[in-house]
Amino acid sequence: MYLHNQVIQGLREKKRAALARAVTLVESGSEHAPHILEQAYKLKGRSKIVGITGSPGVGKSTLVDSLIGVIRERGHSVGVIAVDPSSPFTGGAILGDRVRLRSRTTDDGVFFRSLASRGYLGGLSRHTGEVITLFEAFGFDYILVETVGTGQSEVDIMRYAHSVLVVMAPGLGDDIQAIKAGILEIGDVFCVNKADRPDADRDVAVLEAMLALNKDWQWKPPVVKTVASQGKGVPELLDKIDEHLEFLKQSNLLEERVSRSYLAALEANLRRETVDLILSKARSDGTLAHALKQLSEGKTYPAALAKQLVKTYLIRRND
Ligand SMILES: Nc1nc2c(ncn2[C@@H]2O[C@H](COP(=O)(O)OP(=O)(O)OP(=O)(O)O)[C@@H](O)[C@H]2O)c(=O)[nH]1
Ligand SMILES: [Mg+2]
C-alpha cells in the first residue's frame, strides 16, 4: 500500500501516529503531501477551530493547558497547534493530579503539534491551513491554534479560525497599544488572564468600554476573567467560545468564516506557486543572474525588479 494510503487509513482510524506522520509529510513538502491533502479535504468534518492570540507572556499556553482539561472533562477531543511556541505546553498537567493523568502521551483525545510560521517568505506558513485540515480530517471536536499576536502573520493565522480568542493580562503595558493595532476587530471572545493580579478588574472595565463604542455588533464580544494557572474562569471561557460558535451557526456566518479560511490557504499557496514559477523561469533563462548583478550595482531596486519579473513571466503579451 502506498504511504499516503496508509496515512489516510490511519487518520480514519484515529491513530495519532498517522496524524503525526501526515503533518511531517505535509510540512516537509513530501511527494505524498498532495495525495494526503486531497483525501484529508474529503474527510474533514466539523471541528471547532479556535484561534488564541495575545502578547508574549499573557498566559496563552497556560490557558490552552487549562482549556484542554475542561474540554476533556466534557468528553470532547482536542488538537493543539502552537505556531512558533516560546513557552512549553504541559498537556493539561498544570491543574494537579486530576488532570495530570491525562498527559499528552497517554490521552488519545489530545494531540499537540508545533509549527514554525516563518519558514517561507517571512510570512504565514503555507502549511498552517493544511495542518489544520489534517487535524480536521482526524476529527477532533476542538482545534486550538496558539500564536503570539505581534505581527501580520499572526493576524493571518487567525483567518483560519472560526472563533478568535484574544488574551490579555494586567500589568503588561503594551496591551492598550495592541487594542489600537486592530486586536479589537479580530477578537470574538476576550480574556483578561492573571486575574489574581491587581488591575484585572480595571482592564476588564477598559476593554468593555472600548468594545461598547461599537454599537453595530451582531455579536458583542464577551470579556471573561481567568486565572489560567489555577483553572479559574476557564469553564466559563469555554462556554463563551461555544456560544460564539453557536451564534455563527444560527446566523449563517459560519460559512463566511470557512470561506475566509479557504481564501487564506489559497493565498498562501498562490504566493508560493508564483514565486517558485518566476524564480525558476528567471533562473533558467539567465534573467536572475543578470538581475542580481544589476541590484548589486545599484542600477535597480528589488521592488522595481519584482514588478518587472511579474510582467515578464506572468502577464501574457495580449493581456
Ligand atoms: N499569576 C498568574 N500567572 C500566570 C497565569 N497564567 C499564566 N501565568 C504565568 O505567566 C507566565 C507565562 O505564561 P505562558 O502560558 O507561557 O504565556 P504565553 O502567553 O503562552 O507566552 P508566550 O507563548 O511566550 O507568548 C508563566 O510563568 C505562567 O505560569 C495566571 O492566571 N496568573
Ligand atoms: Mg505560549
The per-residue pLDDT for range 46-83, each reduced to its tens digit, is: 899 999 988 888 999 999 999 999 999 999 999 999 88
Integer angstrom CA distances of residue 291 from 271, 278, 284:
21, 13, 13
Cα–Cα dist 224/236, whole Å: 8
**How far, in Å, from the CA of 87 to the mean position of ligand 2?**
4
pLDDT at 244: 97
Helix (H) or strand (E) holding 164: strand 163-168
**How far, in Å, from the CA of 280 to the mean position of ligand 1?**
45
Q: Return the CATH number of 44-251, one of 3.40.50.300, 1.10.150.120, 3.90.180.10, 3.40.50.620.
A: 3.40.50.300
Please tell me what DSSP assigns to residue 222.
Answer: -
The set of cell numbers assigned to 245 is: 460558535
Contacts of 53 (CB under 8 A, 6+ apart): 60, 146, 147, 148, 149, 154, 155, 157, 158, 164, 165, 166, 167, 183, 186
pLDDT at 132: 94
Q: Could you tell which of 81, 87, 226 is best to mutate to test the pocket of ligand 1, judged by most ligand atoms within 8 Å of the CB?
A: 87
Beta bridge pairs of residue 122 = none
Integer angstrom CA distances of residue 188 from 211, 233, 241:
11, 17, 8
pLDDT at 136: 95
**Ligand 1 site, residue 67, Cβ cutoff 6 A:** no
**Ligand 1 site, residue 148, Cβ cutoff 6 A:** yes
What is the amino acid identity at position 210? M
- 279 alpha carbon, distance to own chain's centre: 29
Cα–Cα dist 153/135, whole Å: 21
**How far, in Å, from the CA of 245 to the mean position of ligand 1?**
26
For the CA of 167, the nearest atom of ligand 1: 19
**Atom 17 (ligand 1): residue with closest C-alpha?**
59
**Atom 16 (ligand 1): residue with closest C-alpha?**
87
- Residue 270, number of CB atoms within 10 A of its CB: 11
Which ligand is in closest contact with the Cα of 53?
1
Contacts of 265 (CB under 8 A, 6+ apart): 126, 129, 130, 133, 160
Beta bridge pairs of residue 168 = 192
Cα–Cα dist 134/265, whole Å: 13
Cα–Cα dist 144/148, whole Å: 13
- For the chain, what are the domain ranges? 1-41, 44-251, 267-314
**Ligand 1 site, residue 192, Cβ cutoff 6 A:** no
For 132, phi then psi, to 5°, come to -60, -40
pLDDT at 97: 40
**Ligand 1 site, residue 127, Cβ cutoff 6 A:** no
Contacts of 315 (CB under 8 A, 6+ apart): none
**Ligand 1 site, residue 60, Cβ cutoff 6 A:** yes
Cα–Cα dist 77/72, whole Å: 6
**Atom 2 (ligand 1): residue with closest C-alpha?**
194
Those residues of the chain that have pLDDT short of 70 are 1, 85-106, 117-126, 149-154, 172-181, 316-319
Question: 3-class DSSP state for residue 254?
Answer: helix
**How far, in Å, from the CA of 134 to the mean position of ligand 1?**
28
pLDDT tens, residue by residue, 93-143:
554 443 444 444 567 889 988 887 654 444 456 688 899 999 999 999 999
Q: What is the DSSP string of 36-63?
A: HHHHHHHH---PEEEEEEESTTSSHHHH
pLDDT at 316: 67
Question: 3-class DSSP state for residue 31?
Answer: coil
Contact call for residues 192 and 207 (beta carbons, < 8 A): yes
Q: Could you tell which of 53, 61, 165, 193 is best to mutate to test the pocket of ligand 1, judged by most ligand atoms within 8 Å of the CB?
A: 61
Q: Could you tell which of 229, 234, 236, 237 is best to mutate to test the pocket of ligand 1, judged by most ligand atoms within 8 Å of the CB?
A: 229
Beta bridge pairs of residue 80 = 112, 144
**How far, in Å, from the CA of 165 to the mean position of ligand 2?**
14
Question: 3-class DSSP state for residue 81?
Answer: strand
